[in-house]
Every structure is written in C-alpha cells, then in structure tokens.
Structure 1
Amino acid sequence: MENYLLFLLIAVITVLSPGPGVVLTLTNTIRYGTKGAIGGILGIAFGTFIVAGVSATSLGILLMTSSLAFTIMKFVGAAYLIYLGIKLWRSPAISVDLNNATYKNRKLQFLEGLTLQLTNPKAVFFFMSVFPQFIDFTEGFTTQFIILVVTYSSLVVCIHLVYSLLARSARGWLASEKGGRIISRFSGGTFMCFGVGLATASK
C-alpha cells in the first residue's frame, strides 16, 4: 500500500471539514453532553464501514454510472437532512442543565448517525475515487482496503470526540432557555441548508 501517510492527511482533512455528521455531534454534545453524543458518533463511524463496502461492490459502480440511481440516492439523503433540520427547528427550546444532563437513547442516536452517513451518496464517491489511488493492486486488495477503512473510521471517532470535547466547554454559554433555542434553530437551519445543497448537487 503506497502513500499511506498522504491518505492519512487527506482523511484527517476530510473528517475535520464541517458537514452534517459534525453538526450532529456538536448538537448532541451541547444538548446531552459528550456521553450523550457517543451513540451518534459510533453510528457515523459504522456507517463508514458500510459505505466503504458499498463503494467496492457493483452497487457503488451503479451509483457512479447511473444518473437515475444517483438522483434517487441524492434526494433520499437530502430529504432526510431536511427532515432532521425541520425536527430540530420546531423542537421546543431546551434549557441545558449542566448538573443533571439528560441523555438521548443511544440506540436512536446510533441509528440517526448511521442513517446520516448511509444517505450521503457523496461518501460513496469519496471512497470510490480516493481509495483506489492508495491501493497496490498487485498485492492483497482486501487487507489494504480494510486498513484504509479502519483508519478512516477511527479518525471519525477520534476527531468527532475532539469536536465533542470542544463543544462541551461551550455548554456553559448556552445553559439557558435562550441558548437551547439558539442550538435548535442554528442546527436545524444548518441541516436544512445541507439538505438543499445535496439536492442541488451534481456528481
């Protein structure tokens, strides 16, 4: 496997860049604390395994070559992001209790993060376009592929935990009903913008 360090650098930059997953982690952290964000983070990371597997199969090739398949997947992902945005926007203002934080069901958080990752066709294209550049096809493909996927998923967990810890330090500023409303409106609006952006995106 060639240029692993270069792949590591690209993966770090990609995971660090703001996106729906990062917004979900920040929102969950501010509302429920770092422990309350772990389920969503693991869902996003596990979704990476599935998306990477899809990118290596005929389904990934279908999404890459079929305009219809891409369009369907794109609008499903966009609809889900907009749904999350509306749900957050319309949710009642939550006062963040720093001494007695409530926790959202981790299974639901996991499914939320997983769905977020699976309904993003751009993730499939990332793996299809980036991974082949760092695999030596004269050697074992499976081993190299697993190493790259595990690396990327591990970075998702580590970097999102860093985002979560940073967001936790800001919870004190938002520990009020007004702060809860700001969280809901900002996060909801951001998700809706991501959804509109995905719906209007091309391959």
Structure 2
Amino acid sequence: MKLYPLFVLMATATVFSPGPGVVMTLTNALRYGLRGSIGGILGIACGALLVALISATSLGVVLATSALAFTALKFAGAAYLVYLGIRLWRAPAFQFAEQLAQPAGFGRRFAEGISLQLTNPKAIFFFLSVFPQFIDASAHYAAQFSALVLTYAALVVLIHCLYALFAQRARGWLVSERGGRLFNRAGGATFVCFGALLATARR
C-alpha cells in the first residue's frame, strides 16, 4: 500500500472539509441530538463504501470515461442537493421541546445519508481520481482496497460524530426560533450552492 499516512491525511481533509454530508450531520444533531444523528452518519459512511465499490468496478470506469454517464450523474446529484436545500430552507425553526418529543427514525436518517453520499461530488471525485493513486499494482489489490476504504469510512464516522458533538455545544443559541430559522436557511442555501456548483462542474 502506497504512502498510507499520506492517504489518511488526505482522507481526513476530504471528510473534514464542509460539504453536503457535514451540513446533514449538523442539521440532524441539532434537531435530534447525537443519538438521532447516528443513523445519518452511518448512512454517509456506508454510502462512501458503495461509492468506493462502484469506483472499483466497470461502472466506475464508465463514469470516469463516459461524458454522458458523468453528466447524468452530475445533474442527478445536483437536483438532489437542490431538493434538500429547498426542503431545509422551508422547514420551520425547530424547538428544543419538539426535539425531545419527536424521535428521529434511524432507518430514514440512514437512507438519507446513503442517498446523499451517492450523489456527493466530493466522495465521487475522491474515489475516482485520488484513491487509485494509493493502490500498489504489485501488491494484493483486495487487501489494499479493503484497508483504505474501511479507513475512509471510519474517518467519516469519527469526524461526523465530532461535528455532531460540536453542534450540541452550540445548541443554546441555535435552538432559539431566530437561530433555528437562520440555521435552516444557511444550511438550505449551502445545499443549493453545492447543487449549483455540481451542475456546473466539468470533468
């Protein structure tokens, strides 16, 4: 395996950088608490595993070489991000009392996390372009692939849990009606911006 410490550093920077997954984790943590955000975090991690598996198959080659497939995936991801942004923008400001009364569905959060990660340009580009550079062609491919992908998924869980804990610390202001409304709109605008950037991205 080539330069494993460098891979860990690059993967950490990729996961830690703000993106759609981070916005989702912060939103879930503020609405449902750390426990309620776990489903989404695990969904994002599993989505990363699926993206990695796709990148290792012939479908990954098609996405990397076909302009049509790349464009279709790009616009599908952009539309999904814009949808999430509009939904969050229009959502009512959450209240602390409501958070305790309405438990978050683990399955729904998990499915949302997977769906988001499958259309996350940051993860897709990482596994299609950066990831292969750390595979040593002269060594056992499956063992290297498994170690690197599981490392990435573990980093997703760890870093997103840290984001969720941070969100809980900042809850005092954000759970107020004004703070909640501002957070919803800031998060919604962020999703829409990510969608627009993805729609205009080039190979």
Smaller-chain TM-score bracket: over 0.9
**For 1:124 and 1:94, how far apart are their aligned partners in 2?**
32
2:147 corresponds in structure 1 to: 147
Residues 113-162 of structure 1: per-residue CA shift (max 9 Å, x gap): 10001123552331122222212111110010000000000000000001
Residues 167-197 of structure 1: per-residue CA shift (max 9 Å, x gap): 1100011222222212211111111111111
2:156 corresponds in structure 1 to: 156
1:172 corresponds in structure 2 to: 172
1:11 corresponds in structure 2 to: 11
Work out whether residues 88 and 187 of structure 1, in 8 Å CA contact, stay in contact via their aligned partners in 2.
yes
Mark the runs of 5 or more structure 2 residues left unpaired by the alignment.
none
**For 2:21 and 2:30, how far apart are their aligned partners in 1?**
14
**For 1:194 and 1:121, how far apart are their aligned partners in 2?**
9
Superposition TM-score, scaled by structure 2 size: 0.95
Cα distance change on mapping 1:122 and 1:65 into 2, 3 Å = farther
Superposition TM-score, scaled by structure 1 size: 0.95
Work out whether residues 93 and 181 of structure 1, in 8 Å CA contact, stay in contact via their aligned partners in 2.
yes
- Is residue 54 from structure 1 mapped to residue 54 from structure 2 by the alignment? yes
Structure 1 ranges of 4+ moved more than 3 A: none
Q: Once the two structures are aligned, what percentage of the paired residues are identical?
A: 60
Residues 86-105 of structure 1: per-residue CA shift (max 9 Å, x gap): 11111122212398363321
* Superposition CA RMSD, Å: 1.5
Amino acid at match of 1:21: G
Work out whether residues 44 and 117 of structure 2, in 8 Å CA contact, stay in contact via their aligned partners in 1.
yes
**For 2:98 and 2:166, how far apart are their aligned partners in 1?**
15
3-state SS of the aligned residue for 2:194?
A: helix
Cα distance change on mapping 1:87 and 1:4 into 2, 3 Å = same
Cα distance change on mapping 1:90 and 1:99 into 2, 3 Å = closer
Mark the runs of 5 or more structure 1 residues left unpaired by the alignment.
none
3-state SS of the aligned residue for 1:100?
A: helix
Cα distance change on mapping 1:37 and 1:99 into 2, 3 Å = closer
Q: Which moved more, 1:38-47 or 1:114-123?
A: 114-123
Work out whether residues 33 and 101 of structure 1, in 8 Å CA contact, stay in contact via their aligned partners in 2.
no
1:110 corresponds in structure 2 to: 110
